[in-house]
Amino acid sequence: KQEVTQIPAALSVPEGENLVLNCSFTDSAIYNLQWFRQDPGKGLTSLLLIQSSQREQTSGRLNASLDKSSGRSTLYIAASQPGDSATYLCAVDSGNTPLVFGKGTRLSVIA
Amino acid sequence: DVKVTQSSRYLVKRTGEKVFLECVQDMDHENMFWYRQDPGLGLRLIYFSYDVKMKEKGDIPEGYSVSREKKERFSLILESASTNQTSMYLCASSLVGQPQHFGDGTRLSIL
């Protein structure tokens, strides 16, 4: 059964820092991997989707990488801002089953 | 832009009541999902549907049922609400292999 782990559970950084959020998964037979953002009391917003054949995806200051063989993905946030403060979740799509979510990393960017 | 609308942002009900949570999406998505989210437990899948009148159990279906009579609407039903069903409920929809789009959630309190 696929399991998704995100470490650390919480992270606090000063504004302007570049940072990396980590996601690992146990079964490398995936269809795609998705990164989401969740603001307090709100639903999830899709940030990036990486297909299994891709190595990375970029959107603005965000870059997500995927290493299927090692079961790892990272979300890189450049020049962090207080508005980036949120919980970031990764989720794995194995094709014929619903997404499996990690528990998220709660990010605080301090001005 | 995809819009997933959940009927209530906040809801307070009494133990034993039958509770209906409604979710509507406007993008003709085949797939629809109901999750609950609790601190420390992350997102847990309750039920999902890949087409009209179809439903599949997720990880925690006990005490819940669903209805999908029309493609755009997916209802979650708490047959006899209990206090341990107090939670944030999130609805999502997607096309196959595409990112899930989430509603803003319903914070349900059972007294």
Give the tens place of pLDDT for each residue, B13-50. 999 999 999 999 999 999 999 999 998 899 999 999 99
| Partner-chain contact A34 B99, CB within 8 Å | yes
Instruction: Using CB atoms, pick whichever of B58, B97, B105 lies closest to residue A31.
Output: B97
Q: Tell me what percent of the residues of chain A surpass a pLDDT of 90.
A: 90
| Partner-chain contact A44 B92, CB within 8 Å | yes
pLDDT, tens only, A90-106: 999 987 678 999 999 99
Q: Does A93 touch chain B (CB under 8 A)?
A: yes
Q: At a CB cut-off of 8 Å and minimum separation 6, what does A92 contact? A: A2, A4, A25, A27, A30, A32, A33, A34, A99, A100
| Partner-chain contact A104 B101, CB within 8 Å | no
When pLDDT is averaged across residues B70-89 and rounded to a whole number, the result is 97
Phi, psi of A82 (to 5 degrees): -55, -30
Is residue B88's pLDDT more than 90?
A: yes
Touching B: A residues 72-91, CB under 8 Å: 89, 91
When pLDDT is averaged across residues A66-71 and rounded to a whole number, the result is 95
Q: Does A62 touch chain B (CB under 8 A)?
A: no
Spell out which residues of chain B touch residue A98, defining contact as CB-CB under 8 Å. Answer: 33, 45, 48, 58
Q: How far apart are CA B26 and CA B47, in angstroms?
A: 20
When pLDDT is averaged across residues A57-64 and rounded to a whole number, the result is 97
Q: At a CB cut-off of 8 Å and minimum separation 6, what does B72 contact? A: B24, B25, B26, B28
Residues in chain B whose beta carbon is closer than 8 A to a beta carbon of chain A? 4, 33, 40-43, 45, 48, 58, 90, 92, 97-105, 107
Q: At a CB cut-off of 8 Å and minimum separation 6, what does A43 contact? A: B4, B90, B92, B102, B103, B104, B105
